[in-house]
């Protein structure tokens, strides 16, 4: 297993299979590389099926035990089932998707080896959903969630980015997962430094505080310094007697990396772009490492290099100045930095 100089073991990889997407979400940062809504047809710059599998085989050599496939929209790849089927057996396979292609494919994905799925769903009203995603596919997303549950994926996590447009929808989303068995809610802090709209940001601590007031139980996870809240839905009865396993109780987790040095100190994942570049940190674009022609020796060398050069974004790459503001740490600006 490879470990960076801060003692962070790399146990997982997040592989973008395409930057194409059939949505145009207003908060999209395309895995830190910038907003895009490209053509729907396969592109020449995407890693081939064999390239992806070859990379995963090398990652498995370094004891990586989990892979999450992302995009863009990864289900625009018609070879997704084959990629999952050929993923090394030691790896847990998960998928982040907008859900529109799950109907008709969910069972095949599970048969291929998919174990978990995250479905992006930022609102429960079609008009609100369309305003955020620039898509009229609300009903198809709901159908996709049902298809995932029907295929045996449990839990199905609903990803909701929390910012000015969506913060008011949080209570009804909490009720929704509490009242529907098999669903969990993952609230993702908006990242203004990647999206370029700082005016949309909200104080995520307000959401933590509200959930803490409602929660039956709170769990603190070491991974990324995350908190999980078990909350009873508005229809739940006998609140004082509820437990996390009671009907009508939902689990809500907050992913809040912004200005969170503890989050970065517990990051154990390397990213791969759809073009075949390794990326040690979501927030950075000056640490991209090409894997050459994708031969196994080239992949091994690049993987070792990117892990060796990983640094926590907050606390090392970005440090606080005398005024308590985050600023770039010049020590970690490499030759490829674009400042």
pLDDT digits (tens, 9 = 90+) for 22-38: 998 988 866 655 555 55
- Mean pLDDT score, 50-67: 98
**Total residues belonging to the chain:** 339
Residue 338 reports pLDDT greater than 50: no
**Nearest C-alpha neighbor of 56 from the set 88, 11, 81, 90:** 88
Instruction: Name the one residue in this structure whose structure tokens are 């995009």.
Output: 71
Q: What is the pLDDT of residues 299-322, one digit of tens each?
A: 999 999 999 999 999 999 999 998
Of 16-20, 224-228, 280-284, which gets the smallest average pLDDT? 224-228
Question: How far apart, in whole angstroms, are the C-alpha atoms of residue 24 and residue 131?
Answer: 10
- Give percent of the chain above pLDDT 70: 91
Of 37-41, 122-126, 312-316, which gets the smallest average pLDDT? 37-41
Is 8 a known ligand-binding residue?
no
Is 243 a known ligand-binding residue?
no
Is 68 a known ligand-binding residue?
yes
Residue 12 reports pLDDT greater than 70: yes
Is 86 a known ligand-binding residue?
no
| Dihedral angle sign, alpha carbons of residues 245, 249, 255, 259 | negative
Q: Tokens in use for 34? A: 């910038």
Tell me the pLDDT of the chain averaged across its residues. Answer: 90
Is 281 a known ligand-binding residue?
yes
- Mean pLDDT score, 162-174: 94
Question: How far apart, in whole angstroms, are the C-alpha atoms of residue 16 and residue 72?
Answer: 7
Residue 240 is predicted with a pLDDT of: 67
Residue 42 is predicted with a pLDDT of: 63
Is 77 a known ligand-binding residue?
no
Residue 188 reports pLDDT greater than 90: yes
Question: How far apart, in whole angstroms, are the C-alpha atoms of residue 9 and residue 28?
Answer: 28
Is 296 a known ligand-binding residue?
no
Is 14 a known ligand-binding residue?
yes
Predicted TM-score (pTM) of this structure? 0.92
Is 311 a known ligand-binding residue?
no
* Domains of the chain with bracketed CATH: 12-266 (3.20.20.70)
Question: How far apart, in whole angstroms, are the C-alpha atoms of residue 136 and residue 200?
Answer: 23
Is 157 a known ligand-binding residue?
yes
Is 72 a known ligand-binding residue?
yes
Is 270 a known ligand-binding residue?
yes
**Nearest C-alpha neighbor of 29 from the set 231, 191, 162:** 191
Question: How far apart, in whole angstroms, are the C-alpha atoms of residue 68 and residue 83?
Answer: 12
Is 100 a known ligand-binding residue?
no
CA 78 to chain centre: 21
Of 48-57, 218-227, 312-321, which gets the smallest average pLDDT? 218-227
Would strands 66-70 and 289-290 be described as parallel, antiparallel, or unpaired? unpaired
């Amino acid at each position: 297993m490879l470990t960076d100089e801060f003692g962070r073991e790399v146990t997982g990889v997040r592989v973008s299979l395409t930057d194409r997407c059939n949505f145009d979400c207003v908060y999209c940062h395309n895995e830190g590389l910038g907003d895009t809504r490209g053509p729907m047809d396969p592109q020449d710059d995407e890693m081939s099926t064999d390239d992806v599998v070859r990379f995963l085989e090398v990652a498995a050599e370094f004891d990586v035990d989990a892979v999450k496939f992302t995009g863009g929209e990864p289900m625009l790849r018609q070879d997704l089932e084959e990629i999952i089927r050929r993923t090394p057996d030691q790896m847990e396979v998960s998928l982040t998707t907008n859900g529109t292609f799950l109907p008709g494919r969910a069972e095949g994905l599970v048969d291929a080896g998919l174990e978990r799925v995250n479905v992006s769903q930022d609102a429960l009203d079609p008009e609100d959903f369309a305003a955020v995603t620039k898509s009229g596919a609300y009903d198809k997303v709901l159908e996709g969630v049902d298809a995932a549950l029907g295929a045996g994926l449990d839990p199905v996590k609903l990803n909701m980015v929390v910012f000015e447009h969506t913060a008011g929808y949080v209570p009804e989303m909490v009720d929704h997962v509490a009242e529907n068995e098999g669903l969990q809610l993952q609230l993702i802090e908006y990242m203004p430094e990647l999206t370029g709209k700082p005016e949309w940001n909200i104080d995520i601590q307000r959401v933590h505080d509200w959930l803490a007031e409602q929660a039956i139980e709170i769990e603190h996870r070491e991974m990324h310094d995350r908190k999980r809240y078990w909350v009873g839905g508005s229809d739940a009865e006998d609140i004082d007697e509820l437990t996390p396993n009671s009907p009508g109780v939902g689990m809500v987790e907050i992913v809040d990396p912004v200005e969170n040095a503890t989050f970065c100190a517990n990051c154990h994942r390397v990213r791969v772009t759809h073009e075949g570049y390794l990326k040690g940190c979501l927030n950075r674009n000056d640490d991209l490492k090409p894997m050459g022609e994708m031969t196994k020796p080239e992949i091994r060398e690049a993987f070792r290099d990117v892990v060796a050069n990983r640094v926590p974004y907050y606390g090392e790459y970005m440090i606080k100045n005398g005024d308590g503001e985050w600023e770039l740490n010049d020590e970690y600006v490499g030759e490829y930095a674009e400042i």
